[in-house]
Structure 1
Amino acid sequence: MSSAHILVVDDEPDIRTLIQEILEEEGYEVSVADSGGAARRQRRTHRPDLILLDVWMEDIDGISLLREWAEGGELPCPVIIISGHGTVETAVEATRLGAYDFIEKPISLARLLLVVERALEADKLAREVVDLKQQLPVVPEPVGRSDTLQRLREQVLKVAAHDTGVLLKGEPGSGKKTFAHFLHHNSPRRQGPLVEISVGSLSQSNSAVELFGSEDEERVHYGRFEQANRGTLYIDDIGDMDEQTQARLLSALETRSFTRVGGTEPVRLDVRIVAATRHDLDQAVAAGRFREDLYYHLNVVPIQIPRLAEHCEDVPELLNYYVTFFVDREHLPYRHFALAAQNRLRNYSWPGNVRELKNLVQRLLILGSGEEITLDEVESALQAQLMNRDSALEDSTLFELPLREAREQFEKNYLEHQLQEAGGSVGKLATRVGMERTHLYRKLKALGIDVKKGSD
């Protein structure tokens, strides 16, 4: 993983060179600009992690440039103002606009390095706080000690050491995001950001902007790729990506660069891609829904995440983990599972995988009473889940899914019910649901609904 990228903006060549040499000796990646215009161009070419900005320059002063960058509400990265003729008013204005600190010339190199280090650390902590507020906590490490999980954990640790793309395959709720976090935090990029994006939550019209960013005159919007610079970009629901965005992603992976929407200059790419899918991408490629060349780029190291039913011996440990999780996080009353209840859940099929287990624990802690969760309580909860599953709109996990995934689950449940009502006849099913038969066959195949030959 490369070190932090610092942009030094100063119209004095000696100072630019001195600061550049000192920072590079400390292991930072440094770009320089001798004017405001050059600084704008540098920001477009390579997103900086920190900017050292001189106040007095010929084309534009640093405070005006700072104000321009802060127009969106906040600065894109920490900015440290440097000036040989600083005033209290200048320092106050810089701080008001969001500058991290103000350093006077002649520059104390020891102070410069200390302020740079503190600014980068403060920015990292701020981003981590934002991430925690925007998403539920992710399990830091896969929970369980089964042979299946131990082998998978060892496989992920081996893959994590090599800076290559990874494709995680598995059913919804099986823990793909957990393994993505586990991989990142055990990789050489662990000090860099882990940025997540779910393709299923994006509309076709804005997916390219969200991933690759955009440019409009002097304004630059950094997309998820640049936000994940020197770190890992986790792309969930990759199989739902539209064709145009697939083409952009393929180009970025092939050239290790991309162009923002509305931009003209290529931006260097220094990101590890971890993609995840619940779909069979081989079938998607064969059906023409997913680019074959992109699939081969992503599928360098495929990792299959097993269904919970395939490592059911981990269920008791998962139950205990999520009891502690909800007691600590949501202050729910502590309850423990009776041995008979644990045994029943160990032998349950878990169609919703770990996500279903987590929801079940939360519901039992909220609705139950007494220190022990009994077998009768568990049976009642499972029966309620079974009844709810008959109606996709009442499925407890459906509302947690991205819109595209929820719609697909509803379509699957709906067509399976209608097919049963039609006695297994696709011809009668087509009449019942008002679909052309050829299109209906493709839909049934895409949803994984088994239709027996001769059912017409």
Structure 2
Amino acid sequence: MTSLELTTDDAMSKGLVDEFTHCFTGECRVNVLQILFRINQVLTQNADLATLVSIILDGMRQQMRMQRGVMMLYDRHSDAIFIHDSFGLTEEERGRGIYAPGEGITGKVVETGKPIIIPRVIDSPDFLDRTRAHNKGRKQDKLAFFCVPIVLAQKVLGTICAERVYMNQRLLNQDAELLAMVASLIAPAVELYLIENVDKVRLETENRRLKSELKQRFRPTNIIGNSKPMQEVYAMVHKVASTKATVLLLGESGVGKELVASALHYNSPVADGPFIKANCAALPEALAESELFGHERGAFTSAIATHKGYFEQASGGTIFLDEVGELSLPTQAKLLRVLQERTFERVGGAKPVKVDVRIIAATNRNLAEMVAEGTFREDLFYRLNVFPITIPPLRDRGSDVITLADHFVTTYAAEIGKPIKRISTPAINMLMSYHWPGNVRELENVIERSVILAEEGVIHGYDLPPSLQTPTETGTGFSGTLEDRVTAVEYEMIVEALKASNGNVGQAATTLGLTRRMLGLRMDRHRLTYKTFRTAGLRPRN
């Protein structure tokens, strides 16, 4: 470059400066080009919002001579607009600067997505001065205020607001346009910040809230029942919950072993960790190892990616192995190693995976008998049987039947919007006299069905399934004679056979050792029909 060219360029630059200096605004704005250049550099390199905000606020204070500048962000989930960073405000003043959409000038900008310019802020009824930064005896009567939205894809993410004294309306408009351009440039970085920080904090808060609710829901005091057998269970849960000892839950199907396992987890030192449930009975033998311990990519034909098994997912928390007695002997051997060393390899992998997990197992089978039969490993049984808790069957829990029934009535009546007020005395007697082979799960299904059928706000005996119907309720009551008692026993046996066969008369007749015709005659005598047992079959709940 020649000296002549340099002189010419200098002259042109000086001319541009002079033009901006004397553009009837009273101030030169060429120096803000450096701010835009630095913003563009940050956006190109890392889009760090903290750096961008620092550049913008410094430029507003130094080059644009603002008295106050504020960057505000909008959290649409909490519907709050809050100060992210500022200058000219104290920490206390910043803390007070929270608005809702439509509230004050800032709220209106967020609500409409349009900038607002106030030449004399003191004259604006929308200026709330929530920060109380204007009550210090300063000369505030000539302050102008303007606020521009930060918008991306028609979604308002926040605002940039500023205050200063302007002697020229054109300069005020020019500065508002400049900051609107800056807001447009940084909008993608603001959205990313909100997703990674504000939304993350909100989701973490929501996660903590949900875990707290689960903890309250599954605490032992919320397991319904006050019978002596259940009081013993509560005492055992209280003693072992605060430890990381392996627990083996024993009891018939439907007694509530999963509920007790949840109570153990949510009252344990790892309550904030994951609670992973693995139904061993539902795991196909060929996939059980992969589901429990995971597999590496390419371990078998359909293994297109690395898969973390239940144990890895539960690391830092609790794994609940339901129906553990259904596992095959090879899978039992691998489970034994995890209990001993807390280490395993994924299927197709050679690298050991170490986990820190509490194990709670459950079964409705007699594991000691299975050990004697050779279908369950003795060493695994002793590893699992560290702290056994036996959950009593419903038939041994006395008045808990009615307590649970009332609870399920309240739950399902509210669910379907039906005002069920009570269970009639005959229905209560029927519930109390039944032997409940399906335990609490069966009771829940019975009550759900009865709530649907009940009318006039009362559950009557005839709303209960045929399997619970007593001879009195069906007109086959007895006064104590041998003939009447035989009739009652016959009724119960026919009901049980029809229930077991889902209303298949031929199958029920075979079970009872009768011909189809003979069973049909006895059903007519007891006023029973196979259709009742097909339409009233109890469905299992997930």
Summarize the Cα distance change of 1:233–1:239 in structure 2 as closer, same or farther, 3 Å threshold.
same
Q: Do residues 151 (structure 1) and 232 (structure 2) align?
A: yes
Q: 1:268 maps to what in 2?
A: 354
Contact 1:212 1:222 (8 Å CA) reproduced: yes
1:287 counterpart (360, 373, 384): 373
Q: Do residues 172 (structure 1) and 253 (structure 2) align?
A: yes
Q: 2:223 maps to what in 1?
A: 142
Contact 1:388 1:394 (8 Å CA) reproduced: no
CA distance in 1, matches of 2:227, 2:362: 23
CA distance in 2, matches of 1:128, 1:330: 27
Q: Cα offset for 1:323?
A: 0.9
Contact 1:164 1:272 (8 Å CA) reproduced: yes
1:387 counterpart (495, 500, 512): 495
Q: Which sections of structure 2, spanning at least 5 residues, go unmatched?
A: 1-184, 299-303, 471-491, 515-542
Q: Which sections of structure 1, spanning at least 5 residues, go unmatched?
A: 1-86, 103-110, 132-136, 396-413, 423-456
CA distance in 1, matches of 2:337, 2:509: 42
Q: Do residues 302 (structure 1) and 388 (structure 2) align?
A: yes
Q: Cα offset for 1:327?
A: 2.4
CA distance in 1, matches of 2:338, 2:202: 33
Summarize the Cα distance change of 1:139–1:207 in structure 2 as closer, same or farther, 3 Å threshold.
farther
Q: Any residues of structure 2 matched to 1:74-113 within 5 Å, and which? A: 101=195
Contact 1:184 1:232 (8 Å CA) reproduced: yes
CA distance in 1, matches of 2:272, 2:433: 40
CA distance in 2, matches of 1:185, 1:123: 14
Q: Any residues of structure 2 matched to 1:180-219 within 5 Å, and which? A: 180-216=261-297, 219=305
Q: Structure 2 counterpart of 1:215, which letter?
A: E
Runs of 4+ in 1 over 2 A off after TM superposition: 87-92, 99-102, 114-129, 137-141, 217-220, 327-335, 374-381, 383-395, 416-422
Q: Secondary structure at the match of 1:316?
A: helix
CA distance in 2, matches of 1:146, 1:351: 19
CA distance in 2, matches of 1:421, 1:207: 42
Residue identity over aligned pairs, in percent, reads 36
Larger radius of gyration: 2
Cα RMSD between the aligned structures? 3.7
Q: Secondary structure at the match of 2:398?
A: helix
Q: Do residues 160 (structure 1) and 160 (structure 2) align?
A: no
Q: 1:7 maps to what in 2?
A: none
CA distance in 1, matches of 2:465, 2:347: 53
1:30-52 C-alpha deviation (Å, 9 max, x unpaired): xxxxxxxxxxxxxxxxxxxxxxx
Summarize the Cα distance change of 1:209–1:389 in structure 2 as closer, same or farther, 3 Å threshold.
farther
Q: Secondary structure at the match of 2:437?
A: coil
Q: Structure 2 counterpart of 1:285, which letter?
A: V
CA distance in 1, matches of 2:336, 2:429: 47
CA distance in 2, matches of 1:366, 1:208: 43
Q: Secondary structure at the match of 1:167?
A: strand
Q: Any residues of structure 2 matched to 1:219-230 within 5 Å, and which? A: 219-230=305-316
Provide TM-score, normalisation by structure 2.
0.49
Summarize the Cα distance change of 1:260–1:337 in structure 2 as closer, same or farther, 3 Å threshold.
same
1:339 counterpart (400, 415, 425): 425
Which of 329-338 and 350-359 deviates more?
Answer: 329-338
Summarize the Cα distance change of 1:420–1:393 in structure 2 as closer, same or farther, 3 Å threshold.
closer
CA distance in 2, matches of 1:341, 1:139: 31
Contact 1:312 1:347 (8 Å CA) reproduced: no
Contact 2:254 2:442 (8 Å CA) reproduced: yes
CA distance in 2, matches of 1:197, 1:229: 14
Provide TM-score, normalisation by structure 1.
0.57
Q: 2:440 maps to what in 1?
A: 354
Q: 2:455 maps to what in 1?
A: 369
- Higher RCO (CA < 8 A, seq sep 6+): 1
Q: Structure 1 counterpart of 2:323, which letter?
A: D
Summarize the Cα distance change of 1:139–1:126 in structure 2 as closer, same or farther, 3 Å threshold.
closer
Contact 2:426 2:461 (8 Å CA) reproduced: yes
CA distance in 1, matches of 2:465, 2:381: 43
1:251 counterpart (303, 318, 337): 337
Q: Structure 2 counterpart of 1:257, which letter?
A: T
CA distance in 2, matches of 1:100, 1:213: 35
Q: 1:328 maps to what in 2?
A: 414
Q: Cα offset for 1:344?
A: 3.0
Summarize the Cα distance change of 1:223–1:342 in structure 2 as closer, same or farther, 3 Å threshold.
same
Contact 1:335 1:365 (8 Å CA) reproduced: no
Summarize the Cα distance change of 1:123–1:146 in structure 2 as closer, same or farther, 3 Å threshold.
closer
CA distance in 2, matches of 1:417, 1:291: 41
Summarize the Cα distance change of 1:382–1:167 in structure 2 as closer, same or farther, 3 Å threshold.
same
1:321-359 C-alpha deviation (Å, 9 max, x unpaired): 111121234444424202342233223211111111111
Q: Secondary structure at the match of 1:239?
A: helix
Q: Cα offset for 1:201?
A: 0.9
